[in-house]
A and B are shown apart, each in its own frame.
Chain A
Amino acid sequence: MADTPTLSLEQLRGDLATFLANPYPTYSEMRDQSPEQMEFIPGGIVPGLDEPIKAWALMKYNDVYSALRDHDTFSSARNPFVEKGFFPQLVLIMDDPPRHTRFRRLVNKAFTLRRVESLEPWITSVANELLDEVGSEETDIVQSYTIPLPVKVIARLMGIPGDDFTIFKRWSDTFISSLISIPLEERMQNTMEMAEYFGKIAAARRTRGAEDLITALVEAEIDGESLQDWEILGFCILLLIAGNETTTNLVGNMLNILIDRPELWRRLREDRNLVEPVIEETLRYESPVQQLQRTTTRDVTISGVTIPANDLVAVFFGAANRDPKEFPNADEFRLDRDLRNHVSFGAGIHYCLGAPLARAEAKITLNAFLDRFPVIEHGRTPALRQTQSPVVFGFERLPLVLRAKGH
Chain B
Amino acid sequence: MRLVIDYKKCLKSGQCSYLHSELITAGADGTPRVIIEQIEEHLRDAAEDAVDLCPSGAIALREDVEK
B1 within 8 Å of A by Cβ? no
How many B residues face the partner with a CB closer than 8 A? Answer: 15
6 further A-B pairs in the complex, CB-CB below 8 A; given A114-B52, A345-B13, A347-B30: A101-B19, A112-B53, A340-B10, A347-B12, A351-B14, A356-B55
With a cutoff of 8 Å between Cβ atoms, the chain A residues found around residue B18 in the complex are 101, 104, 348-349
With a cutoff of 8 Å between Cβ atoms, the chain B residues found around residue A302 in the complex are none
Q: Are A349 and B11 in contact (CB under 8 A)?
A: no
Residues of B within 8 A of A (CB): 10-15, 18-19, 30, 52-57
With a cutoff of 8 Å between Cβ atoms, the chain A residues found around residue B14 in the complex are 69, 347-349, 351
Ranked 4 nearest A-B pairs via Cβ: A351-B13, A348-B14, A355-B55, A349-B18
Residues of A within 8 A of B (CB): 65, 69, 101, 104-105, 108-109, 112-114, 340-341, 345, 347-349, 351-352, 355-356
Query: Could you tell me the distance in whole angstroms from the C-beta of B62 to the nearest C-beta in chain A?
Result: 17
The residue that A104 contacts in the complex, of B19, B54, B56, B57, with Cβ under 8 A, is: B19
Per the bound structure, the CA–CA distance linking A347 and B32 in Å amounts to 13
Query: Could you tell me the distance in whole angstroms from the C-beta of A353 to the nearest C-beta in chain B?
Result: 8
Q: Are B13 and A347 in contact (CB under 8 A)?
A: yes
Per the bound structure, the CA–CA distance linking A310 and B11 in Å amounts to 31
With a cutoff of 8 Å between Cβ atoms, the chain A residues found around residue B13 in the complex are 345, 347-348, 351, 355
* A65-B52 in contact given A105-B19, A348-B18 (Cβ < 8 Å): no
| Least CB separation from B15: chain A residue | A351
Per the bound structure, the CA–CA distance linking A267 and B14 in Å amounts to 34
Per the bound structure, the CA–CA distance linking A112 and B48 in Å amounts to 12
The residue that A112 contacts in the complex, of B10, B12, B30, B52, with Cβ under 8 A, is: B52
14 contacts between A and B (CB under 8 A): A104-B18, A108-B15, A108-B52, A113-B52, A113-B54, A113-B56, A340-B10, A340-B11, A340-B12, A341-B12, A349-B18, A351-B15, A351-B55, A355-B55
| Least CB separation from B54: chain A residue | A113
Per the bound structure, the CA–CA distance linking A36 and B48 in Å amounts to 44
Per the bound structure, the CA–CA distance linking A31 and B56 in Å amounts to 30
Per the bound structure, the CA–CA distance linking A356 and B18 in Å amounts to 18
With a cutoff of 8 Å between Cβ atoms, the chain B residues found around residue A341 in the complex are 12
Query: Could you tell me the distance in whole angstroms from the C-beta of B19 to the nearest C-beta in chain A?
Result: 6
With a cutoff of 8 Å between Cβ atoms, the chain B residues found around residue A349 in the complex are 14-15, 18
Per the bound structure, the CA–CA distance linking A351 and B54 in Å amounts to 11
Q: Are B19 and A65 in contact (CB under 8 A)?
A: no
With a cutoff of 8 Å between Cβ atoms, the chain B residues found around residue A355 in the complex are 13, 55
Query: Could you tell me the distance in whole angstroms from the C-beta of A100 to the nearest C-beta in chain B?
Result: 9
Q: Are A108 and B11 in contact (CB under 8 A)?
A: no
* A113-B55 in contact given A65-B30, A345-B13 (Cβ < 8 Å): yes
With a cutoff of 8 Å between Cβ atoms, the chain B residues found around residue A101 in the complex are 18-19
With a cutoff of 8 Å between Cβ atoms, the chain B residues found around residue A69 in the complex are 14, 30
With a cutoff of 8 Å between Cβ atoms, the chain B residues found around residue A114 in the complex are 52
Per the bound structure, the CA–CA distance linking A352 and B15 in Å amounts to 10
Query: Could you tell me the distance in whole angstroms from the C-beta of B31 to the nearest C-beta in chain A?
Result: 11
With a cutoff of 8 Å between Cβ atoms, the chain B residues found around residue A104 in the complex are 18-19
Per the bound structure, the CA–CA distance linking A355 and B18 in Å amounts to 17
Q: Are B30 and A108 in contact (CB under 8 A)?
A: no
Q: Are B57 and A113 in contact (CB under 8 A)?
A: yes
